[in-house]
């Protein structure tokens, strides 16, 4: 048993269950008498619903109910809740549970069928007849932003949901005086987070106890509980939302609420039988939120040494048909863009635009890949134009270790707090990365490859990532007389290993084996307060709540054990599941005995125990986010004939403060890189002009397989955050953020002879060949 669990590379507590097929995912929930649901979804991007005929569907044997908007009670018929309001978000449009008048994207639910089996429910969908008047659709982002475009929402004059500007310094003056200004347009297109488990909801209503239980593949069970309570008119105490094992989340599994998250629980109440809905993959493509489409016009002003004088970016953000989640993604883009560099004058301005496509909301990275792509592309451009080495130009602009906390001059981050980096050591992260990838002799290596007829490029990209934002998370820890320690927190877990990393924190505080610490997450019945798993915040915010609660239980343990052992609390130690007098290991009690003694049958409980049992609940509310950073570098080989790319090496150096479990952290990083590679080269959601999504299967939307993802070498730098007791920073999104920027820089390098300049993501083999052809036919850029 290690003396300290924190920092150990230990296997995960949750693995045996998951490996033996004993996980409990939403689709594994089996309740007696369960009915199965399927949705009739809009085949049109934009249409008025003239008539819905459900009689034939209702008559099909095995069909229990067919529900349309008009059957819903008033309180859930209207627009669903607005998540994160913002003063700039003038038109905070949200989706409805079932569309009754107008549909605004393909896949919007119109009717709900509940039947004895999913097979019958889908048969019934075939019998539903809906008459539409098809309306012109706004699909292309730039076109949708223009005056006169088809309007997604008839009560608006155009499609602009928000127009928002953030500034620091005086950018006009900086640009006016600058010796060099470089401009570029960058595009990042739509993608889907595509967890291998789609979404799902199972709801059960007990009419006698008035208790609603909902199993939901959400990343935010507490918030779903709160909304359900509000929308269905039930006390919060009567609604229990459980996010059981979740087969991957990556952002879009947090919505509060998706239409199905309200209609399924309501149907279970109405029918007084459990109802299950499991999204199929095609539904997932059209009904689960997308992300990533933004078009940035950006320019950078530098002096003759390549020092940044100012950066300006104006961009369009694609909301899709609604923007329930709010402006998180474009705000995060604008506030991530400055990254590790000192930018005295900065201007970020965007318009969030409605279009007749699936809604967007944060997907792993959540606007950060865009910011990093724009900034790192601009830095490469500066290096090339001024003839300065691209690593050197970065070194000249890094924020230095002694300059923290570093204030970005008045920008406001996604949590509404002034953007101030808490800590970091960017030059060191960069140095390590460049050493690992062998940047110093890259020119010679590249020439060698070239002589062999191979086109290999070295790419790298640096990012700073806001993590661990508020408002809070909480945790309750209870030691049972068995000596086992039970930990309950409400953040959901989607594979990040919280059953282990949280247990490591607790095991250290209480001197137990990590396997004796049993963690429950994501069940509002076990712990009813919380926000959710997003923004790389679970380990930081919940992890620190766990540490605080564990510290409190430790104090209580010492108090109670001191009485039992007739010793002073200060003289006691906790280890190996025991409390003993320091230096006298024989004078000991088991932790479980202390727990039993803290809950006596008779007698009195001393005032200072503050109640019975070895139990404590604590909350952690960070003042602001903790800023992690990292740099990725890779060697990428391009086959100019086929347009295929191959990674020869991939290096990540990451700084997220002290690491709880390096194995888990590296897994997070590697998984993120794989997703980033998808975002950069394979995964693109394609809409046609009518707003039909052409990529609705894994045959058209290509997730990277083992053949596309290289081994990733991971190294760490540890700069603790002063903002939380454990000093940790989040890591969940780190892997994905810089990958598009990195791939672009590697391709530029590999194809430097052709003068290729990558300004768009994702690419594909055919698109890369096209770019090559364009570069070869284009006159050499001035």
Residues that bind ligand FES (CB under 6 A): 196, 247-248, 495
The interface with another protein within residues 303-322 (CB under 8 A) comprises: none
CB-based contact 432:593 (threshold 8 Å):
no
* x/- map, 721-760, another protein, by CB under 8 A: --------------x-------------------------
Q: Which does 534 bind (CB under 5 to 8 A by kind): ligand FES, another protein, none?
A: none
Q: Using CB under 8 A, which residues numbered 520 to 579 contact another protein?
A: none
**Minimum CB–partner distance for residue 513 and another protein (Å):** 17
22: contact with another protein by CB under 8 A: yes
Q: How far is the CB of 44 from another protein (least distance, A)?
A: 6
Q: Given candidates 68, 88, 93, 123, which one binds another protein under the rule CB under 8 A?
A: 123
Tell me which of ligand FES, another protein, none is bound by residue 524, counting a contact when its beta carbon lies within the kind-specific cut-off of 5 to 8 angstroms.
Answer: none
93 binds, among ligand FES, another protein, none (CB under 5 to 8 A by kind): none
Angle at 670 between CA 665 and CA 676, to 5 degrees: 125
Q: Which of residues 193-212 bind another protein (CB under 8 A)?
A: 193-198
Closest separation in Å from C-beta 685 to ligand FES: 19
Residue nearest to ligand FES (CB): 196
Min dist CB 24 to another protein, Å, is: 8
- State the burial class of residue 248 (Cβ atoms within 10 Å of its Cβ: 0-12, 13-18, 19+): middle
CB nearer to another protein: pick between 337 and 503: 503
Stretch that binds another protein, among 296-304, 425-433, 522-530, 709-717 (CB under 8 A): 709-717
Question: Beta partners for 163?
Answer: 351
Q: What minimum distance in Å lies between the beta carbon of 573 and another protein?
A: 31
* Residue 119 near which of ligand FES, another protein, none (CB within 5-8 Å, type-dependent): another protein
- Cis status, amide bond into 322, omega within 30 of 0: no
Q: Applying CB under 8 A, does 613 fall inside the site for another protein?
A: no
Which is closer to another protein, CB of 135 or CB of 311? 135
- The answer to whether residue 610 forms part of the interface with another protein (CB under 8 A) is no
689 scored as a contact of another protein (CB under 8 A): no
10 Å Cβ neighbour count for 725? Answer: 13
CA-CA distances (angstroms) from residue 142 to 40, 62, 159, 528, 631? 31, 47, 11, 44, 32
Sheet holding 346-354, edge to edge: 160-168, 346-354, 308-320, 294-302, 180-188, 760-761
Does residue 18 belong to the site contacting another protein (CB under 8 A)? yes
Q: Please, are residues 538 and 496 in contact by the beta-carbon 8 Å criterion?
A: yes
Q: Please identify, using beta-carbon distances, which residue of 457 and 667 lies nearer to ligand FES.
A: 667
**Residue 444 vs 699, nearer CB to ligand FES:** 699
- In whole angstroms, how close is the CB of 141 to another protein at the nearest point? 22
Q: Give yes or no for residue 130 binding another protein (CB under 8 A).
A: yes
- Which listed residue (173, 176, 585, 698) binds another protein by CB under 8 A? 698
26 touches 215 (CB < 8 A): yes
CB of 665 to another protein, least distance (A): 10
Residue 30 binds another protein, judged by CB under 8 A = yes
Query: How far apart (Å, rounded) are the C-alpha atoms in residues 476 and 23?
Result: 24
Helices first, then strands: H and E counts in the chain: 19, 29
Tell me, what DSSP letter sits at residue 394? H
Q: Which residues pair with 53 in a beta bridge?
A: 129
Q: At what angle do helices 739-750 and 368-386 cross, to 10 degrees?
A: 30
Residue 439 CA to residue 633 CA, distance in Å, equals: 9
For the CB of residue 205, give the shortest distance to ligand FES in the complex, in Å: 30
Please classify residue 642 by burial: count the beta carbons closer than 10 Å to its beta carbon, then call 0-12 exposed, 13-18 middle and 19+ buried: exposed
Q: How far is the CB of 195 from ligand FES (least distance, A)?
A: 7
Q: Which stretch binds another protein (CB under 8 A): 70-78, 495-503, 553-561, 570-578?
A: 495-503
Q: What is the 3-state secondary structure (H, E, C) of 150-212?
A: CCCCCCCCCCEEEEEEEEECCHHHHHHHCCEEEEEEEEECCECCCCCCCCEEEEEEECCCCEE
Helix (H, G, I), strand (E, B) or coil at 218: coil
Answer yes or no whether residue 139 interacts with another protein by CB under 8 A: no
Q: Which is nearer to ligand FES, 705 or 777 (CB)?
A: 705
Q: Indicate the DSSP class of residue 90.
A: S
Per CB under 8 A, 705 contacts another protein: yes
Q: Per rule CB under 8 A, is residue 674 in the interface with another protein?
A: yes
What's the rounded Cα separation, in Å, for the pair 95 and 98?
8
Cα 419 vs. chain centroid, distance in angstroms? 20
Name 143's Cβ contacts closer than 8 Å, sequence gap at least 6.
149
Nearer to ligand FES, 189 or 733 (CB): 733
Q: Give the one entry of ligand FES, another protein, none that residue 20 binds, where binding means its C-beta sits below a cut-off of 5 to 8 angstroms depending on kind.
A: another protein
- In whole angstroms, the minimum distance from the beta carbon of 453 to ligand FES comes to 38
706 binds, among another protein, ligand FES, none (CB under 5 to 8 A by kind): another protein
The residue among 243, 756, 216, 326 whose CA lies nearest residue 523 is 243
- Please pick, from the candidates 381, 432, 632, 670, the single residue that binds another protein as defined by CB under 8 A: 670
* Proportion of the chain in helix, strand, coil states, percent, rounded to 5: 30, 25, 40
Taking residues 247 to 286 in sequence order and writing x for each that binds another protein by CB under 8 A, - otherwise, the string is: xx-x---------------------------x-xxxx--x
Q: Would you say 7 or 409 has its CB closer to another protein?
A: 7
Q: Which of 226, 328, 333, 496 binds another protein (CB under 8 A)?
A: 496
Say if CB 662 and CB 7 are below 8 A apart.
yes
191, 678 in Cβ contact below 8 A? yes
Q: Which is nearer to ligand FES, 18 or 84 (CB)?
A: 18
The interface mask with another protein, positions 629-668, x = CB under 8 A, is ----------------------------------xx-xx-
Q: How far is CA 554 from CA 45, 178, 267, 632, in A?
A: 58, 60, 46, 40
Alpha-carbon gap, residue 93 to 324, rounded angstroms: 6
**Pairing between strand 239-242 and 211-216?**
parallel
């Amino acid at each position: 048993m290690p003396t300290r669990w924190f920092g150990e590379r230990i296997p995960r507590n949750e693995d045996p269950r998951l490996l033996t097929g004993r996980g409990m995912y939403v689709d594994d929930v089996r309740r007696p008498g369960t009915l199965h649901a399927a949705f009739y979804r809009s085949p049109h991007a934009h249409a008025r619903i003239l008539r819905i005929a459900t009689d034939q569907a209702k008559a099909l044997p095995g069909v229990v109910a067919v529900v349309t908007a008009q059957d819903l009670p008033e309180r859930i018929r209207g627009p669903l809740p607005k998540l994160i309001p913002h003063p700039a978000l003038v038109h905070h449009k949200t989706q409805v549970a079932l569309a009754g008048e107008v549909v605004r994207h393909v896949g919007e639910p119109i009717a709900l069928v509940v039947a004895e089996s999913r097979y019958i429910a889908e048969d019934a969908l075939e019998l539903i007849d809906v008459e539409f008047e098809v309306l012109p659709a706004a699909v292309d982002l730039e076109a949708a932003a223009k005056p006169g475009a088809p309007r997604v929402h008839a009560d608006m004059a155009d499609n602009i949901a928000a127009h928002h500007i953030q500034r620091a310094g005086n950018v006009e003056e900086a640009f006016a005086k600058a010796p060099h200004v470089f401009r570029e347009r960058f595009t990042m297109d739509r993608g889907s987070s595509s967890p291998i488990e789609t979404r799902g909801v199972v709801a059960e209503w007990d009419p006698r106890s008035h208790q609603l239980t909902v199993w939901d593949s959400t990343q935010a069970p507490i918030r779903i509980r709160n909304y359900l309570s509000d929308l269905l008119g039930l006390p919060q105490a009567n609604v229990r939302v459980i996010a059981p094992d979740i087969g991957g989340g990556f952002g879009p599994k947090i919505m509060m609420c998706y239409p199905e998250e309200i209609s399924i629980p309501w149907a279970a109440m109405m029918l007084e039988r459990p109802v299950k809905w499991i999204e199929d993959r095609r539904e997932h493509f059209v009904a689960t939120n997308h992300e990533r489409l933004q078009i940035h016009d950006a320019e950078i002003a530098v002096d003759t040494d390549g020092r940044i004088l100012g950066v300006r970016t104006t961009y369009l953000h694609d909301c899709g048909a609604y923007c329930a989640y709010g402006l998180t993604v474009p705000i995060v883009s604008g506030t991530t863009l400055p990254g590790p560099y000192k930018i005295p004058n900065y201007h970020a301005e965007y318009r969030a635009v409605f279009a007749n496509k699936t809604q967007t909301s944060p997907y792993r990275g959540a606007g950060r890949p865009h910011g990093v792509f724009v900034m790192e592309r601009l830095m490469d451009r500066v290096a090339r134009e001024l003839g300065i080495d691209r690593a050197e130009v970065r070194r000249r602009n890094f924020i230095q270790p002694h300059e923290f906390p570093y204030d970005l001059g008045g920008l406001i981050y996604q949590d509404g707090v002034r953007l101030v980096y808490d800590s970091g050591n960017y030059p060191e992260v960069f140095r390590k990365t460049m050493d690992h990838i062998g940047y110093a002799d890259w020119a010679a290596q590249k020439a060698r490859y070239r002589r062999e007829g191979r086109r290999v490029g070295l790419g790298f990209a640096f990012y700073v990532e806001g993590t661990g934002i508020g408002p809070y998370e909480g945790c309750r820890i209870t030691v049972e007389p068995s000596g086992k320690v039970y930990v309950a927190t409400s953040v959901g877990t989607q594979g990040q290993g919280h059953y282990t990393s949280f247990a490591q924190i607790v095991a250290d505080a209480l001197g137990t084996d990590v396997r004796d610490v049993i963690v429950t997450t994501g069940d509002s019945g076990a712990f009813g307060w919380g926000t959710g798993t997003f923004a790389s915040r679970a380990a930081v915010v919940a992890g620190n709540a766990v540490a605080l609660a564990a510290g409190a239980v430790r104090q209580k343990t010492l108090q109670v054990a001191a009485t039992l052992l007739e010793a002073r609390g200060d003289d006691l130690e906790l280890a190996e599941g025991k409390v003993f007098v320091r230096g006298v290991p024989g004078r000991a009690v088991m932790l479980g005995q202390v727990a039993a003694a803290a809950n006596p049958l008779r007698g009195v409980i001393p005032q200072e125990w503050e109640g019975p049992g070895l139990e404590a609940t604590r909350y952690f509310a960070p003042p602001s986010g903790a800023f992690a950073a990292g740099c990725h570098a890779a060697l990428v080989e391009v086959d100019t004939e086929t347009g295929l790319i191959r990674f020869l090496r991939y290096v990540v150096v990451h700084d997220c403060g002290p690491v709880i479990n390096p194995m888990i952290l590296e897994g997070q990083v590697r998984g993120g890189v794989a997703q980033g590679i998808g975002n950069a080269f394979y995964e693109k959601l394609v809409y046609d002009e009518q707003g039909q999504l052409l990529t609705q299967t894994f045959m058209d939307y290509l997730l990277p397989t083992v053949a596309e993802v290289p081994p990733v070498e991971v190294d760490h730098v540890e700069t603790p955050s002063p903002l939380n007791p454990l000093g940790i920073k989040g890591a969940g999104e780190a892997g994905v953020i810089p990958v598009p920027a990195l791939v672009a820089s590697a391709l530029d390098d590999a194809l430097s002879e052709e003068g290729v300049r990558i300004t768009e993501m994702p690419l594909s083999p055919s698109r890369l060949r096209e770019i090559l052809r364009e570069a070869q036919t284009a006159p050499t850029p001035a």
